[in-house]
Structures are given as C-alpha cells and as structure tokens.
C-alpha cells in the first residue's frame, strides 16, 4: 500500500469509526429513555383536544329511576354508569345506544338498560360512537 492508499484507508476508516461511535451513543441514549444531547429540543405542543359538544350538566333523571330494581342498579353499576361523563367527547347523547325520545328533557333511554332513564351527559363503559 502506497502513501495515497494509506491516506485513503485512514480517511475512510476514520469516518466509519466516527459514524459507529455516533450510532452507539445514540442507541445508548435511547436505551436510557432520553434523547441524545444534540437532538434534545423543547417538547412539541400537544394537539388541542377536539372541541367538546355542549352537553347539559347536572341533569336530574331521578324521577324516572325511582323504581329501579336491584338488578337494574346492578346492571348500571357493572357498566360503570355515572351521571356526568368524565370522558371528553363521550356521553350518552352521542352514544349509539341512547334513545332521547323515550323521556322528556335531557333524559333518555339506554338500549342496554331495561328500565329507567339516563342523563344525556352521563356515560358508561359500553359507550360507542353514534354513527350518522
Ligand atoms: S351505553 Fe352507556 S353511554 Fe351509551 S347510552 Fe347507555 S349508559 Fe349512556
């Protein structure tokens, strides 16, 4: 190997070594759950949540639920029914199982509950988006 060949070999080997070192550093940083110093940046802003539909709060449907049986209450409990949804954009009024025509005001029927009314702003674990 002449001087030119040796210089080319050293130059190529040096570049490869630096590349391998950078890749190793990057992988180690990722394995530790942190970004390498040269790639750290301020966190990107989270996208704004979709605008929630206006849903009435504190709806009282208790007059329709005065005669619920223990079985009815157990069904509601097992489905995690709550009078006021705590999940953005999910409530009875936009659930496929909600029937607003059965009761007056913001109370409606749920197809999964044999008896009683649910509030339009309520929620349970079986919520499913209403299509159409
Ligand atoms: S399934 Fe749950 S969220 Fe849907 S209408 Fe019935 S109670 Fe409301």
What CATH number does residue 86 fall under? Answer: 4.10.490.10
- Note whether residue 25 is domain-resident: yes
Q: Please report the atom of ligand 1 found closest to the CA of residue 108.
A: 5
Ligand 1 within 6 A of CB of 123: yes
Q: Is residue 97 part of a domain?
A: yes
CA dihedral (126, 100, 111, 75) in degrees, to 10, reads 60
Number of domains in the chain: 2
Would 8 be classed as within a structural domain? yes
Residue 55 lies in a domain: no
* pLDDT computed for residue 55 by the predictor: 72
Identify the pLDDT of residue 77.
98
**Same domain, residue pair 34 and 80:** no
State whether 26 and 73 are in the same domain.
Answer: no
Q: Taking a C-beta distance cutoff of 8 angstroms, is the pair 85, 79 a contact?
A: no
Q: Dihedrals φ, ψ of 60, to 5°?
A: -105, 105
Residue 75 lies inside a defined structural domain of this protein: yes
* Same domain flag for 34 and 70: no
**Does residue 29 fall inside a structural domain?**
yes
pLDDT at site 98: 98
Same domain, 66 and 113: yes
Residue of 73, 92, 103, 111 best suited for mutating to test ligand 1, as the one with most atoms within 8 Å of CB: 92
Q: What is the pLDDT of residue 57?
A: 82
Does residue 12 fall inside a structural domain?
Answer: yes
What confidence score (pLDDT) does residue 91 get? 97
Confirm or reject: Cβ of 126 under 6 Å from ligand 1: yes
Give the ligand 1 atom nearest the CA of 85: 3
Please check whether residue 101 lies inside any domain of the structure: yes
pLDDT tens for each residue of the chain, 132 residues long: 555 555 554 445 444 443 443 343 333 433 444 444 433 444 444 443 344 457 778 899 999 999 999 999 999 999 999 999 999 999 999 999 999 999 999 999 999 999 999 999 999 999 999 997
Cβ neighbours around 92 below 10 Å, total:
29
Nearest atom of ligand 1 to the alpha carbon of 91: 3
Helix (H, G, I), strand (E, B) or coil at 65: coil
Domain check: are 71 and 105 in the same one? yes
Neighbouring C-beta atoms of residue 116, cutoff 10 Å: 21
The boundaries of the domain holding residue 32 are 3-39
pLDDT (0 to 100) of residue 20: 41
What residues have CB less than 8 Å from 121, skipping those under 6 apart?
55, 56, 57, 59, 83, 84, 85, 91, 92, 93, 106
CA 124 – ligand 1 centroid, Å: 5
The pLDDT assigned to 132 comes to: 78
Please tell me the predicted confidence (pLDDT) of residue 56. 75
Q: Residue 45: what pLDDT?
A: 46
pLDDT at 81: 98
Q: What is the pLDDT of residue 5?
A: 56
């Amino acid at each position: 190997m002449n001087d030119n060949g040796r210089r080319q070999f050293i130059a190529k080997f040096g570049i490869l070594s630096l590349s391998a070192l950078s890749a190793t550093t990057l992988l180690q940083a990722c394995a530790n759950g942190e970004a390498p110093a040269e790639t750290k940046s301020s966190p990107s802003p989270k996208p704004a949540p979709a605008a929630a539909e206006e849903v009435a709060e504190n709806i009282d449907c208790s007059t329709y639920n005065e005669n619920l049986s223990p079985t009815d209450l157990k069904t509601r409990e097992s489905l995690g029914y709550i009078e006021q949804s705590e999940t953005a954009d999910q409530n009875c009024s936009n659930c496929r199982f909600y029937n607003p025509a059965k009761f007056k005001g913001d109370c409606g029927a749920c197809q999964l509950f044999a008896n009683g009314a649910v509030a339009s702003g309520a929620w349970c674990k079986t919520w499913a988006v209403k299509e159409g």
